[in-house]
Amino acid sequence: MSGQGFGESPQTPYDAAAISAEAGPQSVAYVRLKVDNAGRIVIPAEMRAAMLIKPGDTVTAQVVDGEFRIVSPGVALKRVQAFARKWRAEHPNENVVDELIAERREEARREDERYARLEREAAALDTRNRGG
């Protein structure tokens, strides 16, 4: 271990080919990791592969009940896709795209009405201020 504070517990080799994005996220047993003076940790290669983290990825992190959780874009996408498949199976005749478009059109109509009202009010104030 280097004197910089980085380090991983020794691990048994793993087969990177056995962990693939198609298979989805995997589980890895607990591993002790060191936190350096700057608060950094090194995520072991096996864990990065299991989390579907690739070099250059930006991960999302949160603390829940004192537990630090990191989610990769790949895992987040898999979760959303699974949710969408389940929702679609439970609502086979609903088209959420059409519903979303209808909601957005209604929202745009309300905004147009509001801006038209504000323009009328501004014109009326302008007329009053000019003495007309």
Using a 10 angstrom Cβ sphere, with 0-12 exposed, 13-18 middle and 19 or more buried, the burial of residue 49 is buried
CB atoms within 10 A of CB 51: 20
Beta bridge partners of 70: 61
Residue 40: the pLDDT is: 93
Q: What is the CATH number assigned to the segment(s) 16-72? A: 2.10.260.10
Could you tell me if 28 and 46 are in contact, meaning their C-beta atoms sit under 8 angstroms apart?
yes
Per DSSP, the three-state class of 22 is coil
Q: Per-domain residue ranges for the chain?
A: 16-72, 80-129
Instruction: Tell me the pairing of strands 67-71 and 60-64.
Output: antiparallel
Residue 107: the pLDDT is: 96
Between 132 and 127, the more confident residue is 127
What's the CA gap between 98 and 93, in Å, rounded? 12
What's the CA gap between 7 and 33, in Å, rounded? 7
pTM score: 0.49
**Closest-CA residue to 68 (of 29, 41, 37):** 41
Residue showing tokens 């070099």: 55
Residue 117 has pLDDT above 90, yes or no: yes
Residue 124: the pLDDT is: 92
